[in-house]
Amino acid sequence: MGNRFEFTAIAKSKQSGDDAIDAAIAEVQRIESLLSSFKEDSQVNEINKFAGIKTVPVDREVIELINRSTKISTVTQGAFDITYGSIDKSLWNFDIHMTALPDQQTALKAVERINYKNVLVDEDAGTVMLKMEGMRIGFGGIGKGYAADQAKKLMQNMGIESGIVNAAGDLITWGTQLDGSPWTIGIANPDQKQDAFSALSISNMAIATSGNYEKYAVIDGKKYSHTINPKTGLPVHGIKSVSIICPSGELADALATPILVMGVSVGLDLINQLNNVACVIIDDDNRIYTSNNINLT
């Protein structure tokens, strides 16, 4: 994880707002300690350390998050995969200065350990094991959304009726602004972030965005994202950004990058089959696509 979080609380008093924000910060830090692959003693690192060797006891919270993650992997046909960190970067590694793609065989070899089906969970024993040595799991694609959801719930339980949790640019909101109007955001033009091409009401919703507009390589005149397709081992192309809007920060976070991987047509088809989930896609030619259940203003 390692993301910057910001909290906004509309509270009855400064003290109650400060207390809720302090509690939310502590909750995010707790989740960070549990899930971060940057922390040596995290449960995620314990799982990775003993990949292919033995089972590792973990908290129920970790097991439940793994189970929800693998469900999203199933829905996205593997475009989302918490074993993404198993990619073998010694075979090839994305570089914005690269001038050629790796050959197909090398790319496939690099991702051969990526397979969410090889995360073995024993719910009765409370253990997790990765089937192959060299496998790794990570919650970079879902963790900040999960942490944002938990922080929001905690603040609500402390009496904060309206607020925002900003998880490195991904937002979850509840209630309304001080004047009673809904929380509204601008959907940015990926090439000119200061310019919004549309406004969107997101009260009581979360929004997460994934894109290639900050880190990409140009090869033979085509933009390739730093995002790697976990099934092919090759960088994805064709989409500049994907924004997912739904009530859950966790789900919004987890779906944004897979839709980038799946492409416009397949991605929209999936979103249109999900309840209470909407998306906005901008392709490399600046064409805008929306799911059936969204109206941009």
Which ranges in the chain are annotated with CATH 3.10.520.10?
A: 182-290
Query: Would you say the C-alpha torsion 29, 145, 124, 57 has a positive or negative sign?
Result: negative
> Which DSSP string do the residues of 97-116 spell out, in sequence order?
T--SPPPHHHHHHHTTT--G
Residue 62: pLDDT band (50, 70, 90) is very high
Coil, strand, or helix at residue 179? Answer: coil
How much is the pLDDT for 100? 92
Mean pLDDT of 51-71: 98
Cα–Cα distance measured from residue 111 to residue 229, given in angstroms and rounded to the nearest whole number: 9
- Of the chain, the percentage scoring pLDDT greater than 90 comes to 78
> Which DSSP string do the residues of 116-169 spell out, in sequence order?
GGGEEEETTTTEEEESSTT-----TTTHHHHHHHHHHHHHHHTT--EEEEEETT
State the fold for domain 43-130: T-fold (1.10.3980)
Which ranges in the chain are annotated with CATH 1.10.3980.10?
A: 43-130
Verdict on whether the full-model pTM lies above 0.85: yes
Q: What is the mean pLDDT of the chain?
A: 93
How much is the pLDDT for 210? 92
How much is the pLDDT for 191? 67
Task: For 136-170, write each residue's pLDDT tens digit.
Answer: 999 999 999 999 999 999 999 999 999 999 999 89
How much is the pLDDT for 227? 92
How much is the pLDDT for 90? 86
Task: For 82-96, write each residue's pLDDT tens digit.
Answer: 999 999 888 888 888
How much is the pLDDT for 276? 95
Query: What CATH code is assigned to 182-290?
Result: 3.10.520.10
For the record, the structure tokens of 85 come out as 């960190």
Long-range contacts of 182-190 (CB under 8 A, 24+ apart): 187/243, 187/280, 187/296, 189/282, 189/286, 190/240, 190/241, 190/282
Cα–Cα distance measured from residue 156 to residue 20, given in angstroms and rounded to the nearest whole number: 9
Task: For 236-265, write each residue's pLDDT tens digit.
Answer: 999 999 999 999 999 999 999 999 999 999
For the record, the structure tokens of 236 come out as 């994805």
How much is the pLDDT for 280? 94
> Is it the case that residue 185 has pLDDT exceeding 90?
no
